A and B are shown apart, each in its own frame.
Chain A
Amino acid sequence: MLTFLKSAIGFSTIFLFGSTGETITEKSGHLNLGTPGIMCLGALGGCVGERLYLSLVGIGGIQAFPAIIFGILFAMMFAAFGGAIYGFLTITLRCNQNVTGLAITTFGAGLTNFFINYISRTGFVYLSNCFKKPISSGADWFSTIFLSHGVLVYTAIVLALVVAFILKKTRGGLNLVAIGENPATADAAGINVTAYKYTAVLTGSAISGLGGLYYIMDYLNGNWEYSIDAMGWLAVALVIFSVWKPNWGILGSILFGALYIMPSYVGVSFSIKEIIKMVPYVATVIVLIITSIVNRRESQPPASLGLSYFREER
């Protein structure tokens, strides 16, 4: 049970990074269906960064802090690159967001699965240990569940709280929300819509990319087996599930993580395990339906989600 909770919290990090990033993007009125591809790019970036770091210092010279920083920087850079393509196409060129997002997912997943095998991952297991180093390795239940994780797990939670705070309490966050609701009004109020949208899409993508970094460097110990896109879609689902609130997303992600790994902890047949894996999607659909029926203003998607904004258009 303890290891189950521990793994659930660990695994939730992938969803939490993905959904925190996607929330920021969606708040600016951009539904980024490229998130799964961008998370893949994050994994690829992390790989490139760590390879670079290893070739600089060698396996003997690994130090925890720079190793982690290299991974984070490159993961964010690669993910932001995906976000930049998406942003340029949808913000500046005003292309259809759904179509662009899907193309980014195809492209990002392809690029990652293709090139990741060109990068030698020898020595990555040592780097992975840096990422996994727990705060405390005590055997009591509290340490096992809460203190035994690597640095990225806590980063994800802190980041989600910070983003929730920014969106709710700061001028910049409120401006962003205003843009997502009605860009024309925000524009008239003197907010630089394009700048905000770019900032949101780029930071959002960069944060999503960290989910990929966690997946490859912490969860998979520096290996790569399955593509991450299925988890990417769950991250998109989590945004809805948490009704566009990253702080609720923390709990939601743990729930999703628990459901995702639960099949390997319970002794049921393989077919029933698939039914358990289906639960997060069904739950998201139910949340989507309930929020639309209840129709509370606070729990609606941003009003201009999916629409591009052209000032000269009436």
Chain B
Amino acid sequence: MVANTKKEREPLFHIAKRTDIAAWKKWLVRLIALAGSLLIAGLVSAFLTDFGKFGDFFNYLFTGAVGTTWRIQVLFQNWAILMCISLAVTPAFKMKFWNIGAEGQTLIAALAAVTVIWYLGGKVAEPVLILIMFAASILAGAVWGVIPAIFKAYFGTNETLFTLMMNYIATHLVLFAVNAWATDGSAVLGVLDHGSFDGIFGLEYIQNVVFVTIVTVIMFIYLKFAKHGYELEVVGESVNTAKYIGINVKKVIIRTMIFSGVLCGFAGFLLVGGSTTPTVNADLVGGRGFTAILVSWLAQFNPIVMIFVTLLVVFLERGAAQAANSMRLGASSAFVNIVVGIFFLLIIASEFFVNYRIVFKKKGGK
């Protein structure tokens, strides 16, 4: 084989898995990613307007998100909904069940709440109406979540694709209902007169925030201290281990997805009833079901960290929208998508440096 020995090409570096990394380093990497995404967004907006206005973007970013009391309230209202959905998808992800159907689960729950208002609004007392809405939303979210779970548990049906399809079935059901109800042909359902519980317990505009904070605490305890939380984590780590120690895997999958769906349902309920203008349309959830997945993953499924990640994302969304409007950059929702998209891509990329390290070849052979 001597004749065959070519000069082996040593790669310049190789990648090795990291086992531990100091917490401050971890957050430093992510902070750099955040700063990088803001820098890119600032450069893009400056490029489109005027390079002298580079600072304007950051100015609008802050004033747009927290500039006035009203904006702070809107920020926290948005926080509540995104947080609730992020919490909802978390237990399933810990179980490595890729539920990307939170969008549909929330939307169908909102539809259920509006259906209740549509048929019962004004006919029963308002508190009763709200209770029925609550039950209907929770039920609808749970059903939408549990259908893919049952098939996953018994037949191993791919849950990612299944839940994705369920989103669009929900969207078209909403469009169906809206078209059926809006008899003037406008295909827009106006604001409903009943069913808003805004200001309940004297909490004007912030009742959703209070409710979701309570849910956060419950979820934290559920994941950290309850037996259920432990079981779903074992299933996520290794199905075989779970079976070996006597966990009923099918039951855990179905139970967890019901729980996930219930929380999405609650988010849908808050979206309708917790607003001063209860209504439903196909964009009501507005992609938050997908954003929630990124948020939950970014917070590494920790509800407490999630509070801040959600706040950051909502801050970016609100601020970027304001910047796009004030600087006349064009479609503000599209600009928000760019900023949030870059932010997520950079954060995702930065995870590499958290999980792996690059080992450069030392000079002079091995």
Q: Which residues of A contact B (CB under 8 A)?
A: 31, 33, 85, 88-89, 93-96, 98-100, 102-114, 117-118, 230, 233-234, 236-237, 240, 269-275, 277-278, 281-282, 284-285, 288-289, 292-293, 295, 301, 305-306, 310, 312-313
- Which residue of A has the minimal Cβ distance to B282? A274
Residues of B within 8 A of A (CB): 15-17, 48, 98, 100, 151, 155-158, 160-162, 164-169, 172-173, 175-177, 179-180, 185, 187, 287, 290-291, 293-294, 297, 329-331, 333-342, 344-345, 348-349, 351-352, 355-356
Report the separation of the CA atoms of residues A15 and B100 in the bound assembly, to the nearest whole angstrom. 21
Given contacts A106-B341, A288-B165, A306-B98, contact A278 B335 (CB under 8 A): no
What are 22 A-to-B residue pairs whose CB atoms are below 8 Å? Answer: A89-B352, A93-B349, A94-B355, A94-B356, A102-B100, A106-B290, A106-B341, A110-B335, A110-B336, A110-B339, A113-B337, A233-B168, A237-B165, A270-B185, A273-B179, A278-B169, A281-B166, A281-B168, A281-B169, A284-B165, A285-B169, A289-B155
The answer, among A85, A230, A310, for a CB contact under 8 Å with B345, is A85
Besides A109-B334, A272-B176, 20 other CB < 8 A contacts?
A: A33-B164, A93-B348, A98-B100, A99-B348, A102-B100, A103-B344, A103-B345, A106-B344, A110-B341, A234-B168, A271-B176, A274-B173, A278-B168, A278-B176, A284-B165, A285-B162, A288-B165, A289-B155, A292-B157, A293-B157
Q: Say whether B356 contacts A102, CB under 8 Å.
A: no
A98 to B296, CA, bound (A): 13
Report A-chain residues with C-beta under 8 Å of the C-beta of B331: 113-114, 117
Q: How far is A117 from B165 in the complex, measured between Cα atoms in Å?
A: 30
Q: Which of A99, A104, A118, A282 contacts B330 (CB 8 A)?
A: A118
From A117, which residue of chain B is reached at the shortest CB distance? B330
Could you say which of A99, A108, A271, A273 has the most chain B C-beta atoms within 10 Å of its C-beta? A99
Closest beta carbon of chain A to B173's beta carbon, Å: 7
Known: A98-B100, A275-B172. A114 touches B162 (CB 8 A): no
- For the complex of A and B, the 8 pairs showing the least CB-CB separation, nearest first, are A110-B337, A107-B341, A113-B334, A114-B334, A93-B352, A271-B179, A278-B172, A103-B344
Which residues of the other chain, B, contact A270 by a CB distance below 8 angstroms? 179, 185, 187
Separation of A79 and B107 alpha carbons in the complex (Å): 31
Q: How far is the CA of A98 from the CA of B180 in the complex (A)?
A: 35
Q: Is the CB of A292 within 8 A of B156?
A: yes
Residues of A within 8 A of B348 (CB): 89, 93, 95-96, 99-100, 103
Contacts of A289 in B (CB 8 A): 151, 155, 157, 162
Is the Cβ of B165 less than 8 Å from the Cβ of A95? no
Q: Tell which of A111, A234, A285, A295 touches B341, judged by Cβ atoms closer than 8 Å.
A: A111
With A89-B349, A96-B348, A312-B16 as known contacts, state yes or no: A109 contacts B172, CB within 8 Å: no
A107→B345 contact, CB < 8 A = yes
- How many Å from the CB of A213 to the closest CB on chain B? 19
Contact between A99 and B337 (Cβ–Cβ < 8 Å)?
A: no
**Contact between chains at A277 and B172 (CB < 8 Å):** yes
In the complex, what distance in Å separates the CA atom of A33 from the CA atom of B158?
14
Residues of A within 8 A of B291 (CB): 106
- Shortest C-beta distance, B203 to chain A (Å), equals 32
Expressed in whole angstroms, the minimum distance between the Cβ of B283 and any Cβ of chain A is: 12
Q: How far is the CA of A313 from the CA of B16 in the complex (A)?
A: 10
B179 near A102 with CB under 8 A, answer no
Q: Which residue of A lies closest to B155 (CB)?
A: A292
Q: Which residues of A contact B161 (CB under 8 A)?
A: 236-237, 240, 284, 288, 301
Among B15, B157, B337, B352, chain A packs the most CB atoms within 10 A around the CB of: B337
A98 contact set on B, CB distance < 8 A: 98, 100, 160, 293
A120 to chain B, nearest CB (A): 14
Residues of A within 8 A of B167 (CB): 233
Residue of A nearest to B104 (CB): A281
Quote the shortest CB–CB distance from B224 to chain A (angstroms): 23
Chain A residue at minimal CB-CB distance from B180? A271
Question: With A106-B287, A306-B98 known to touch, is A96 a contact of B297 (CB < 8 Å)?
Answer: yes
CB of A181, distance to nearest CB on chain B (Å): 15
B165 touches A274 (CB 8 A): no
Partner of B176, one of A102, A112, A114, A274: A274
Shortest beta-carbon distance from B216 to chain A in Å: 22
Q: Return A276 CB to nearest CB of chain B, in Å.
A: 9
Which chain A residues border B187 with CB–CB below 8 Å? 270
A274 proximity list for chain B (CB < 8 A) = 172-173, 175-176, 179
Given the complex, which residues of B lie within 8 Å of A282, measured CB to CB?
Answer: 165, 169
User: Nearest residue in A to B181 (C-beta to C-beta)?
Assistant: A271
Contacts of B15 in A (CB 8 A): 310
| Bound Cα distance from A236 to B161, whole angstroms | 8
B15 → A minimal CB distance (Å): 8
Known contacts A95-B349, A98-B100, A236-B161; A103/B337 CB under 8 A: no
Once the chains bind, are B185 and A288 in contact (CB under 8 Å)?
Answer: no
The residue of chain A having its C-beta at the shortest distance from the C-beta of B289 within the complex is: A102
